[in-house]
Structure 1
Amino acid sequence: MNVATDSPRRQQLTQIAARLFMQQGFDRTTVRMLAEEMGIKSGSLFHHFADKQEILCAVIEESTRNALVSARRAMAEAVPTPRARLVALARVHLETLHDDRHAHGVALYEWRRLNDEDREHLTHLRDAYEALWHQVIVEARELGLVHGDPATVTRFALGALNWTARWYDPEGPMNTAQLADELANMVLSPAS
C-alpha cells in the first residue's frame, strides 16, 4: 500500500487537506469542506481518494517520506562526527517541520486518527526516521558524549524539536540552524 503519489493534482489536493486538517482538525473537517476548498464537487473527491481516511494517510505518508529523504541526505552530507550529524538531523527536522507546517503538524497531531491498517502501513516510515536519530545518539553515547538511555534521549530530542511548531517564531531572534545548535548543546556533553 502506497497512498502517496507523484500525480501533481493529487499532491495539490493533499496539501489543501493538510491545511484544513491543521486548521479544523481531522474530525471536524468534512468531505464537503475538503471538496469546496479543493474547488471540486464532493463526489469528485472520491475520484482521487477512497475516503477521508485515505486523505489523512496520504498527508502523513508524504510528509514522513519527505522528512526521511531529507534526513538521510543530511546524514550522508554531514561530517561523520556525532555532533555534526546530530546538528544536521536537527536542522533538517526543523526545516521540514517549519517549511511544511501543515503536513508535518498533521503527522504529529492527527496520527492517532489513523485506522489500524494505515497506522501499520506508516509505522515503518516513522520508525526508519527515528532509527537515524537513535543511531547518532548511540554513537555519541559510545564516545561518552551522551548520558542516559539512547531511546529516551532520542524521543526527548524529537519531542523538543516537534514542540517548536507551537512556539517558534521565524521572525524571532533565532533561525532554525541556531535552534539545531542549541539542541546539540543540550544533548551532548561539552567535550563533543
Structure 2
Amino acid sequence: MNDSPRRKELTRQAAQLFVQEGFDRTTVRMLAQEMGIKSGSLFHHFRDKQEILAAVIEEGTQNALVMAKAALEACDHTAEARLQAMARAHLQTLLTDRNAHVVALYEWRRLDPGARDHLSHLRDAYESLWEQVIDEALEAGLIHGDRFLVSRFVMGALNWTVRWYDPAGPRSTDDLAHELVAMITHGAA
C-alpha cells in the first residue's frame, strides 16, 4: 500500500471517524469532509471506502507488531519479563494508536474477504508473538492452563482497556501490565 505522509494522515483521520460513527454509517462524503478534501479527491488516495478500512487496520496492526518486537528485544529474556513486556507494549499500542485498534477490534468483520486474507498474516504474526511468550510462561511454570484460552483471555482483557482506561488517571500502562501479570501468575509457581 502507498505509504505517503498524506495517505497516512488521511488514514488516521478515517480511523477517528470510523470510531465515532462506525464503518457502516460513515459515508465517503463524511470522510472527505473530515479529511478536508473533496469527495472525488479521496479516490486519488484510495480506491474505495473498503480500502480505507483496510489501510486503517493494516497501519494499526503493523504498529502493534513493531512495538511488540521492540519490547521483546529490549527486555530480559525471562518468561516473566517477556510477559510483562508484551502486556506493556500491547497497552501502549492501544493507547497511542487507539483509533486504529478500536477499528481493528470492532470493524474487522466489515473487511471484504480479499482484504481480510491480506491482513490475516499481520494479525497472525502478532498473535504468534503472544503464543510464544505464553508458551514460555507455561514451560517456566509461571502460569497454568490452555495456551489458546490463556492468550484469548489475556488479549481480551488488554483490548477491553480501550473502553475504560483513562491515560490521565492515576495508573500508568506499566501499572496495568504489572497488575495483569500478577493476576495471571498468582499462585502458579
Give the TM-score normalised by structure 1.
0.95
* Aligned residue-pair number: 189
> 98, 103, 125: which is aligned to 1:101?
98
Is residue 82 of structure 1 aligned with residue 67 of structure 2? no
SS of structure 2 residue aligned to 1:37: helix
SS of structure 2 residue aligned to 1:110: helix
| Structure-2 residue corresponding to 1:120 | 117
Q: How does 1:31-110 map to 2 (within 5 A)?
A: 31-110=28-107
Structure 1 residue runs of 4+, over 6 Å off? none
> 145, 148, 159: which is aligned to 1:148?
145
Q: Which amino acid aligns with 1:119?
A: R
Consecutive unaligned residues of structure 1, counting only runs of 5 or more, are none
> 16, 34, 39: which is aligned to 1:19?
16
Give the TM-score normalised by structure 2.
0.97
SS of structure 1 residue aligned to 2:19: helix
Is residue 132 of structure 1 aligned with residue 129 of structure 2? yes
Equivalents in 1 of 2:38, 2:119: separation in Å? 29
Residues 41-70 of structure 1 show CA distances to partners (whole Å, capped at 9, x for unaligned) of: 111100100000000000000000000011
> Does the 8 Å CA contact 2:83/2:137 hold for their aligned counterparts?
no
The two structures, once aligned, show a CA RMSD in angstroms of 1.1
Residues 155-176 of structure 1 show CA distances to partners (whole Å, capped at 9, x for unaligned) of: 1100000000011111222111
